Amino acid sequence: MINVGVLGARGRMGQAVCEAVAEADDMKLAAAVDHDEPLETLTEAGVDVVVDFTLPGVVMDNLAWCIDHGLHTVVGTSGFDQARLDRVGEMLGDDPEVGSIIAPNFGIGAVLMMQFAAKAAKHFASAEIIETHHPRKVDAPSGTAVHTARLIAAARAEADLPEMPDATAEDATGARGGEVDGVHVHAIRSAGYVASQEVRFGGPGERFTISHDSLDRASFMPGVLLAVRAVPSLPGLTIGIDDLLD
Ligand code: NAD
């Protein structure tokens, strides 16, 4: 049995994590903590692994406290740039006793979509990304689209592919979309969607499309539970769940 504590337990993701942990046969929801409860609740409850879905403004303090108290952490909270990741690495130290998995995306389908896109990229002349999200999303393109574009660009560069064929000479309305590392990204905001992405590849005589739709927060839970099971045997910092899928 893994004793799990959830930080941000009354948030949208936190509630879903509490339910998923409570339903898992090999886990116990030992503590559910939100902003008005002390972190000591975690140690008093004998927690082994802490899952944090809180806010970028508080997650670093939470992590420092957990690492200091010998607790493994699984973190989904956004806002981890390289400087923050380096800081967590320092907190864990050179000979870490605990593990911390920080993942910008716990959706297994979304992570596989990115892996498959990176694998396909070197084989096709053209690649473009179309992402569609709910209209309340404030940033465009999505972090997933940016990451996918970077993976595609890196794979193309490694394979020494020439520029993508595109005769567009005029684009007064921005109809060709945005560009991330030379890969066109089109962002659609539409009612009726949660988070969807298509990666379209084209080559002589063929088209190849990878498509992923996230319909509910439930899609993140298998990835979160996978990380909770893995983190006790992964001392130090692990970024993303890519390596756990193998
Ligand atoms: P939310 O606002 O619904 O929930 C955040 C919760 O954290 C709230 O209940 C809040 O009271 C609580 N909180 C604030 N300070 C706290 C503290 N010091 N200690 C404990 N709890 C505290 O937000 P959400 O939609 O659940 O998203 C949470 C985070 O997860 C965001 O950063 C979001 O971008 C991220 N997210 C990541 C993934 C992923 O796959 N990695 C997926 C979805 C959302």
Instruction: Provide the CATH number for the domain around residue 156.
Output: 3.30.360.10
Ligand 1 geometric centre to CA of 126 (Å): 37
In this structure, the answer to whether residues 194 and 231 fall within a common structural domain is no
In this structure, the answer to whether residues 98 and 143 fall within a common structural domain is no
Instruction: Provide the CATH number for the domain around residue 25.
Output: 3.40.50.720
pLDDT single digits (tens) 36-59: 999 999 999 999 999 999 999 999
In this structure, the answer to whether residues 156 and 232 fall within a common structural domain is no
CA–CA separation, 240 and 203 (whole Å): 31
In this structure, the answer to whether residues 94 and 118 fall within a common structural domain is no
In this structure, the answer to whether residues 128 and 173 fall within a common structural domain is yes
User: The sheet that has 72-75: what strands, in order across it?
Assistant: 27-33, 2-7, 49-52, 72-75, 99-102, 236-239
178 touches ligand 1 (CB under 6 Å) = no
Residue 143 has a pLDDT of 86
Range of the domain at 73: 2-102+218-245
In this structure, the answer to whether residues 115 and 17 fall within a common structural domain is no
Give the residues of the chain that fall short of pLDDT 50: none
pLDDT single digits (tens) 106-115: 999 999 999 9
In this structure, the answer to whether residues 112 and 204 fall within a common structural domain is yes
Nearest CA to ligand 1 atom 12: 8
In this structure, the answer to whether residues 57 and 151 fall within a common structural domain is no
Closest CA to 2 of 25, 20, 18: 25
Q: Is position 72 annotated as part of the catalytic site?
A: no
Residue 40 has a pLDDT of 98
In this structure, the answer to whether residues 91 and 55 fall within a common structural domain is yes
Give the count of domains, the chain. Answer: 2
Residue 138 has a pLDDT of 86
CA–CA separation, 174 and 83 (whole Å): 33
Residue 146 has a pLDDT of 92
> Which of 72, 119, 133, 134 is the catalytic position?
133
* Probe residue for ligand 1, chosen from 6, 34, 133 as the CB with the greatest number of ligand atoms within 8 Å: 34
